[in-house]
Amino acid sequence: MVMFVFLVIALVVVVAAVTLAVVGGGSRAVLPEAGPETVTDAFPEDRPLARADVDALRFPVVLRGYRMTEVDDALSRLGAELAERDARIAELESARAGDQAHAVGGPGLLAPPPEPGATEEGPAGTRGEGEQR
């Protein structure tokens, strides 16, 4: 029984010494502090995003998944780029549609149709009743 108590006390002392050595129980730290792993320059700022930029994006894994702020920043940048591209596509398509309409129907294609009963001289009833052409 005495031998068992001696082994338990020795085991506790060894575990405590190893723990203090690893954690750094003195004034100097044995293990240096590790900086937080973050995404630096997730996307290039000097040019529009490309497919390869999105494929190369990797978020560091933390205790409970990913850092929400880093993911939110990346998603907001992607959303802004997509909105900008959608606006540019819509602008180009409307310009193209206008050019096609002008080329096919001439400048009067988009003009409103004449009112019913209107003649070349003007609306109906501007000529006298007895006048004829």
Give the pLDDT of residue 15.
Answer: 95
Give the pLDDT of residue 55.
Answer: 86
Give the pLDDT of residue 112.
Answer: 67
Structure tokens at 102: 């002008």
Handedness of CA 78, 84, 87, 91 (dihedral sign): negative
Distances (CA, A) of 120 to 41, 127, 133: 68, 11, 12
Give the pLDDT of residue 48.
Answer: 83
Give the pLDDT of residue 3.
Answer: 92
Give the pLDDT of residue 105.
Answer: 62
Q: What is the mean pLDDT of each run of 10 residues along the chain (133 residues)?
A: 93 91 65 66 80 84 82 89 93 88 63 66 53 53
Give the pLDDT of residue 4.
Answer: 93
**CA-to-CA distance for 16 and 40, rounded, in angstroms?**
39
Structure tokens at 124: 């109906």
pTM comes to 0.45
